[in-house]
Amino acid sequence: MKHKSAQVLLKVAFISCLIIGISWFSSGKEAHAVDETSVIIKVAAGEDISIIAADHDAVVRKTIPALGLFFVQSSHADALAQLAADARVTAVYEDTIIEGQPRFSGAVGQLLEAQPWEPGTNPRTAYRTQWALTNMRLTKAHTISQGQNITVAVLDTGVDLAHEQLQGKLVAGYDFVDDDPIPAESRDGLDQDGDISVDEGAGHGTHVAGIVALTAPQAKIMPIRIFDDEGRGLYSNLVAGIVYAVDQGADVINLSGSGPEDELFLAEAAAYAAAHDVVFIAAGGVNSLGYPASYQSVVSVGASDKLDYPTDFSDFPDILNNTVYAPGTSIISGYDDGSYAVWTGNSMATPFVAGTAALMLATGSCDAACAQSILVETSHPVVIDPGTMTAYGRIDAFDAVSAAAQQLHTDLSVMVLDGNSIQTDHLHLRPYFKIVNQGNTVPLHELTLRYWFTRDGISQQQVDCDFATVGCTNIFSNLGLVAGTAVSDTYLELTFSPNTGNLLGGHNSGNIQMRVHKTNWTAYNESNDYSFNGAAVFSQNPQITLYHNGNLVWGEEPTSSTLLAPPIDPAPAAVRVQYRAHDADPANNSIIPHFRLVNDSSSAIPLSQLRLRYWFTDEATAVSQAHCDYAAMGCDKITAVLGHNGSQHYLDLTFNAAAGQLAAHSISGDIQTRLNHTNWQPHLETDDYSFSAAASFTEWQNVTLYQNNVPIWGIEP
């Protein structure tokens, strides 16, 4: 905003350059002389704009009462300075050029022009089946919503009103370039912007509108022409278009364009849309967001490719927490004169986001603010630089629409490969897993996997993670015993750390290579194992079970009428667990359990064979962390990690070889531990399975102890 100051007077020289843009603005059925100056003003309350304009030999061309704006034109070159000096004028703005497309690749690369569809092929099929639909999982999103009863305003170069893609989808719009109610595409065959390309913006609006129609097939499209056939426009027409869209009932605004200047009247127009619960989606410019994309009330968009890499023109150093990416390379859509074209740009990515917002609003469970936050929260990370900017992602329409509809679609499966090269008599079990997610994105720590087998003997067993794409340190393994069937008496159970992150919809966990062996190195016979299928390549196996928050979502657990005799385990060691709550307050920000291990047997027990678990519920979304505050044997000999089994979380304590032995008829001494959230959010312990307010050490069966992964004390929840 330019107030009445010396700064305004200094900018009068800019008018001679602006006139070039005004010659475009003035084209159409209300043509004006090329030497006219366009100024945007506000006036003091009670003042008459017609009198002010007449006093300055100016004409009022547009009025936007909602924002108190008047667009005036004058034949005087110093009109800007004259109006700024008028006491009746409270604000003066210069009009600014806005680009209707990301015009270049990179900073100074090739002009991104449309490529006409090749003759002899079927563009309609290519349009409906192009890569972006799979990338964004649009087809699955359409099973929930298709954008019914939602209107998307497309502020652009106008549209081909007769194009087959848009038939039955258009509602009344407006042409702010020619100032008439027919927002059609237009070509004049002239290079008006002097870039050696002619009419390079023509067809842009039709292409953008066609992408909206593809993304939200039942939504209505309101075409509003604010750009000429060179893909250039003025802030004045943009602001007029925004207010028009809001006032005419649009639910979503799509602006595939970016301007260089932050002007107060443009920010006010964006705020006007937000105040009327309209989702505003705007393209970023060439490697800089520009405006209005930089406003927090606007969802800014960059283009990504098939591999989820940002394009070379959408690397935004000024990226914001409301920025998302969408497919924007080699996108097929309509073009002017009923044709089709392939185009690349942030302009193409933006209508995919606007169409997805329409799908979300059509669920009836999400308003504009909800849609904006969910678009960001459900996006999939884009690959920029390793370890940087991963918070900004490419939108996933299925995840976004599911979240907007308050639905969770679980579609998980397990694939397995036999790492033993199909040998069924081996010293190791080597199942390699991939968890495949075709449903909504889920946190990996909510999943539990079980591989069922027979132990073929009574020897103790050991589990190792040899490799995992998500990191072996993020995988917790456990061996469980079950009442024996003909095909299983044991299962290998895998759970995941909260640090593992999400299993994205449409993706898999990557390879998880596990190994199980007996401590006496006797062989397994896998031919009678329930989950064994000897697959040489990854393939689905419904005899491996997967659980989401404790509910079976894949596979069938083994059952048989022919029971094996229960396995004969070595006599469990007579070890008891004593527990006390150092802090008996069940609602502060820490859990502080203390333990002692009591060996009643006549034999010493290696502490490295023992595993202790304290069970609790974790109501918070923040990550928890575990600490050993003191141990008689030394905290450096204890490993404390956090795991979970469905909804039950646990503190898992193990001991390394340096811990030595728990002598016969002895007590380990105090083991003092502590849990807290990383953001110090309170833990509510009243519903924790292992919590007791006991202030002194007491035997407590709700803490469990295992020797060589076999339960020897306590009862699991």
Report which of residues 144 and 591 the model is more confident about.
144
Residue 118 DSSP symbol: P
DSSP string, 595-609: EEEEE-SSS-EEGGG
Residue 131 DSSP symbol: H
Among residues 463, 562, 551, which one has the least CA distance to residue 514? 463
Q: Which residues pair with 711 in a beta bridge?
A: 706
Report which of residues 618 and 689 the model is more confident about.
689
Relative orientation angle of helices 235-247 and 264-275, to the nearest 10 degrees: 10
Superfamily of domain 115-404: Peptidase S8/S53 domain (3.40.50.200)
Which residues are catalytic, by number? 156, 204, 347
Q: Do residues 615 and 688 touch, judged by C-beta distance below 8 A?
A: yes
Report which of residues 444 and 288 the model is more confident about.
444
Give the 3-state secondary structure percentages of the chain, helix then strand then coil, rounded to 5.
20, 35, 45
Question: Residue 318 is inside which H or E element, if any?
Answer: none
The residue behind tokens 């087998």 is: 453
Report which of residues 94 and 380 the model is more confident about.
380
Q: Do residues 410 and 439 touch, judged by C-beta distance below 8 A?
A: yes
**CA gap 191, 195 in Å, rounded:** 7
Cβ neighbours of residue 429 closer than 8 Å, sequence gap 6 or more: 420, 453, 492, 514, 515, 516, 517, 524, 526, 529
Give the mean model confidence (pLDDT) for residues 626-636: 92
List pLDDT tens digits, range 369-408: 999 999 999 999 887 655 454 447 899 999 999 999 999 9
Among residues 335, 356, 465, 433, which one has the least CA distance to residue 401? 356
Give the mean model confidence (pLDDT) for residues 686-693: 86
User: Which CATH fold topology does 412-554 show?
Assistant: Immunoglobulin-like (2.60.40)
Phi, psi of 391 (to 5 degrees): -75, -15
Instruction: Delimit the CATH 3.40.50.200 region(s) of the chain.
Output: 115-404
Q: Do residues 163 and 206 touch, judged by C-beta distance below 8 A?
A: yes
- Residue 55 is encoded by which pair of tokens? 């006093």
Residue 12 DSSP symbol: G
The residue behind tokens 């809001």 is: 246
Among residues 438, 448, 432, which one has the least CA distance to residue 413? 438
Structure confidence at residue 174 as a pLDDT band (50, 70, 90): very high
**What count of other Cβ atoms lies within 10 Å of the Cβ of residue 636?**
11
- Residue 121 is encoded by which pair of tokens? 């092929």
Give the mean model confidence (pLDDT) for residues 640-653: 85
**CA gap 419, 219 in Å, rounded:** 51
Residue 95 three-state SS: coil
Res 213: pLDDT:
97
The C-alpha torsion from 308 through 309 and 310 to 311, rounded to 10°, is -110
Name the pairing type of β-strands 593-599 and 671-677: antiparallel
User: Which CATH fold topology does 6-95 show?
Assistant: Alpha-Beta Plaits (3.30.70)
Lowest mean pLDDT among 53-62, 470-479, 578-587: 578-587
Among residues 238, 153, 240, 225, which one has the least CA distance to residue 182? 225
Among residues 293, 324, 312, 487, which one has the least CA distance to residue 400? 324
**CA gap 660, 669 in Å, rounded:** 13
Phi, psi of 400 (to 5 degrees): -65, -45
Measured in whole angstroms, the distance separating CA 564 from the mean position of its chain's CA atoms is 49
pTM of the predicted structure, to 2 decimals: 0.73
List pLDDT tens digits, range 301-344: 999 999 988 888 888 877 777 899 999 999 999 998 899 989 89
Res 118: pLDDT:
74
**CA gap 448, 476 in Å, rounded:** 10
Res 1: pLDDT:
39
Res 201: pLDDT:
66
- By the 10 Å C-beta count (0-12 exposed, 13-18 middle, 19+ buried), 183 is classed as buried
Res 25: pLDDT:
30
Structure confidence at residue 200 as a pLDDT band (50, 70, 90): low
Q: Does domain 575-713 have CATH number 3.40.640.10?
A: no
pLDDT at 425 over 70: no
Res 95: pLDDT:
84
Cβ neighbours of residue 204 closer than 8 Å, sequence gap 6 or more: 100, 101, 114, 156, 157, 227, 231, 256, 343, 347
Highest-confidence range of 350-359, 535-544, 584-593, by mean pLDDT?
350-359
Res 322: pLDDT:
83
Residues in the chain: 717
List pLDDT tens digits, range 413-424: 999 999 886 555
List pLDDT tens digits, range 99-154: 775 544 444 555 667 787 776 678 999 999 999 999 999 999 999 999 999 999 99
Q: Do residues 596 and 668 touch, judged by C-beta distance below 8 A?
A: yes
Question: Mean pLDDT across the chain, nearest whole number?
Answer: 84
Res 506: pLDDT:
93
Q: Do residues 305 and 311 touch, judged by C-beta distance below 8 A?
A: yes
| Percent of the chain clearing pLDDT 70 (strictly above) | 86
List pLDDT tens digits, range 485-533: 666 778 999 999 888 889 999 999 999 999 998 877 888 888 888 999 8
Measured in whole angstroms, the distance separating CA 516 from the mean position of its chain's CA atoms is 37
Instruction: Delimit the CATH 2.60.40.710 region(s) of the chain.
Output: 412-554, 575-713
Cβ neighbours of residue 219 closer than 8 Å, sequence gap 6 or more: 146, 147, 148, 150, 151, 152, 169, 212, 213, 355, 358, 362
Report which of residues 374 and 572 the model is more confident about.
374
**CA gap 283, 33 in Å, rounded:** 32
- By the 10 Å C-beta count (0-12 exposed, 13-18 middle, 19+ buried), 324 is classed as buried
